[in-house]
Amino acid sequence: MQKRSVTGLISLLGLSLLLISCGKLSTVLAEPAETSVTDYSVTVAIDKDAQQSDIENQYGGSVLLWHPEEGFAVLGVDSGGNKSLIKTAKLEPNKNRFLAGGELAWINGGVSAWAGGSVSAWAGGSVSAWAGGSVSAWAGGVYIPLPQNTFKWQRMNLEAAQTMAKNLGAGVKVAVIDSGIDLYHPAFKGGLVAQSQMRDYVDGDTNPQEQGRLGIGAYGHGTNVASIVLQVAPKAKILPLRVLRPDGSGDASVVAKAIMYAISQNVKVINLSLGSDVPSAAVSAAVKAATDKGIFVVASSGNGGSLQITYPANEFNQDTNTFGKFSVSVGSVNENDNKSGFSNYGANLEMVALGEVVYGPVPGRRQGAWTGTSMAAPMVSGALALALGESLSVAEAELSHKLKSRSANIYRQDKNLIYEDLLGEGRLDLGAFIAEVMGLD
């Protein structure tokens, strides 16, 4: 039975199942995984001269993140901590705050048990290879790597956008903070950063390979999300950062840690196709550190189908938030521009994209389709990467505004009338956006 609390439903469609074994990538110890995760954390303000041992003694916890240059630290604490100080600093739950399903949060892309058939063999080659030059991703208006996505991409004017933005995202690094990625999949050949830059915060190494089995938990979620970014901006580079366990659960401190690491790796865009039902001071501090440096952070709205956008997307409205012009919240509509039944909505939602039945690679040299606001968010991340690879006629800080102002009007749809002003400014129009920011309109 379909569950509304799961924000992405994978459609397993096709004729055959091809399983090809691959060798294991080299694994380099990066930093220890948080194997004994604390149930609670506290985020505290510190100055550049603060000493880690002093802060730990003061709060009775252990440091999980230490960023004096950004003015904050995150400590893991238990019931034995300094209760009065912890109360002042707002103790908050840490463990399993970001989940693949359930009542707490959504990673926007769980797997549906009802999806019939089987995934089919991947036949599209490297997404990055279909990137201009002598090889084009388009032939007669058809999207060659994944023809099943043709209508969707034409609806959002991707072919026109890629014709104008000839660099196709070259030189732009996008962090995908998620369940990992299928590092072996041919779709990603040439599309990933060097393995030494990757991080797996679950296992504590540089091999963020998806773990699990298809149909269980979040397995394959990050792979699909990363591919959507590359379908829009095929010459961008993906920095995969694994923060979610095979069951789809993740900890707030780990998500914050991944964001801070992405900043250090000079990414231009961070994609967060995950969410929580409660805010996290640690994650907010990390997001602000990113946006203060001009890094775009894109988050999905969640799949409860309710008037309650999940965190952090619910704090991204530029008229009310503290993250400035570099954050974007994204919901989902179908190919007719009607609100997706699962998509959360609200006054803070900024825009929508076509998040239903989006095809991409599936672990094991396969392909399949996922549905969810998780799939809508990387379309916007890809749009930003596509623009950032070009010489722009507007300041980078204006890109998120242009994304929204040049979006397609969805409120002419009768079925959307009851959601007036609750679905953002409109649906992503890649062609109109690129034409505007490149001064070609």
Known catalytic residues are 178, 221, 374
Exposure string over 165-179, b if 16+ CB within 10 A, otherwise e:
bebbbbebbbbbbbb
| SS3 annotation, 164-188 | HCCCCCCCCEEEEEECCECCCCHHH
Nearest residue to 41 (alpha-carbon basis) of 251, 245, 322: 251
List all residues 6 or more positions away from 158 whose beta carbon is below 8 Å from its beta carbon: 143, 231, 232, 430, 431
Cα–Cα distance measured from residue 327 to residue 311, given in angstroms and rounded to the nearest whole number: 13
Cα–Cα distance measured from residue 411 to residue 390, given in angstroms and rounded to the nearest whole number: 31
CA 190 to chain centre: 20
CA distances from 383 to 106, 145, 155, 430 (A): 23, 18, 14, 7
Locate 232 and state its tokens.
């829009």
CB 6 within 8 A of CB 106: yes
CB 215 within 8 A of CB 119: no
Locate 211 and state its tokens.
């773990």
